Amino acid sequence: MAVNPNEDTEFNDALRQYGIIPPKETTPPIPSPPSSPKLQDILDDLTPEELRELGEDVTDEDLGRSIEAHRRQRVAQERLHQKRARFGRVYPIGRDDYTREVTEASKINDNDDEEEEEKGTGVICFLYKDGIPRSDRTFEHIRSLASRYPHSKFVSIVGNKCIADLPDSRIPMLIIYRKGEIRNQLIAWGADRERQLEELEALLLLCGALNPPLHGPLGEQRSHSDEDSEEDDDDPSSRMRSAAASTNARAPKNIRGRKKKDDSDSEFEFDM
């Protein structure tokens, strides 16, 4: 009697058990479809403003209440984060304050940082002169960023009161510190073309002067007292790449005293 080894019968099972016919081929398991994202995960990825808009669009009352509760919790968390921050505005300083308010301040670790590694504090020193349009415009950007990133310290000083004989052509100047070291230096920011707030924001994030915002891409993090501010639709990654590619920033080794006469783009150095 011919035996069909592919038949699923008790007789064939007995033959397979004794190795008379080969084992039955197993059907590969059908992979289960990926699980749908949980509502909590979706809500966690949204800004408070996006949560508000989503809550207005849903028709299910229970879901709307859940979204609103999540939004309120998010706002409360961000306000607590803001409250713990040490700064939040631009602090004017004098030349004699530089070492204490800039260099030494950048060595202090953020008390709200839960990570074990001490990162110090990002300190941005802004050298300006009133009446120079690009300097006045950049000062507005500095004030906005100081409010938006209260865990970083922004200080300002008139350029020639910080560096003697600093020419107007080098204004505005930004010197960026962290952990007692200069991370970057921007000279004559905006002299080549009008610079946008997002360009400066992206650059300061890239060089480590700013802690990344809690939620939302660049340009969307606003002060927590203003939840209805306008959204920025530009692609943050594009702005970041653009700022990194076109900036006049350089990372000098130190700042100690006099300008090098043989290099028009040299860093200024001074002793404090």
pLDDT greater than 90 at residue 49: no
- Under the banding of pLDDT at 50, 70 and 90, the label for residue 50 is confident
Cis amide prior to 172 (ω within 30 degrees):
yes
CATH of domain 86-110+118-207: 3.40.30.10
Residues 145 and 86 sit within 8 Å (Cβ to Cβ): no
Residue ranges covered by each domain of the chain: 39-83, 86-110+118-207
The H or E element containing residue 158 is strand 153-158
pTM of the full predicted structure?
Answer: 0.55
Of the candidates 157, 255, 254, 146, the residue with the CA atom closest to the CA atom of residue 210: 146
Mean pLDDT of 106-113: 73
Tokens of 80: 């607590």
Beta bridge partners of 126: 156, 174
Mean pLDDT of 31-58: 80
How confident is the model over 76-101, as pLDDT tens digits? 777 766 556 678 899 999 999 999 99
Mean pLDDT of 183-187: 94
